[in-house]
Amino acid sequence: MNLRGLGFGAMLLAAAGCASSSSGVREDELVRRAWIVERIDDVATATPAPTLTFDSERRVSGRASCNQYAGTLQLGAGTMHVVEPVSTRMACEPAVMTQERQFLVALQAIRTYRRDGDRLLLLDEAGRTRLRLAPRP
């Protein structure tokens, strides 16, 4: 996995400024933001819920429920794709591991995003909401 910095944060904030994408979400609203997953494929998450953090180096990382994960983030005009996510390999209770697998499958299916109030919806190619995120306190 290639996680080296691409200078995305500075370039995004300087060049793209605060421009909104067709998703209604400004890309600078994603950068350096932490989110907690409320729903995976319209099913409420159990504790520990997965988390996502978008950083300024075109990466996404967090806890998948049991394990830490990270991946390269590709952002475009209203598009989003997480490439090559990798995770640690700890074992947890079966229910936690099931939720983690569901989260990682949904994360890899993401192709676009949009806002729903203060929530962030991550959608697949068919437009189906795969992940519903709330700002992480």
Spans in the chain with pLDDT lower than 50? 1-22
Dist CA 12 CA 10 (whole Å): 5
Residue given tokens 């229910």 in the structure block: 95
Query: CATH number of 21-135: 2.40.128.270, 3.40.50.1220, 3.40.50.300, 2.20.25.90?
Result: 2.40.128.270
Note the pLDDT of residue 17: 33
pTM of the model: 0.80
Q: Could you tell me if 84 and 71 are in contact, meaning their C-beta atoms sit under 8 angstroms apart?
A: yes
Structure-token pair, residue 5: 């910095």
Dist CA 21 CA 79 (whole Å): 9
pLDDT digits (tens, 9 = 90+) for 63-92: 999 999 999 999 888 899 999 899 999 999
Annotated domain spans of the chain: 21-135
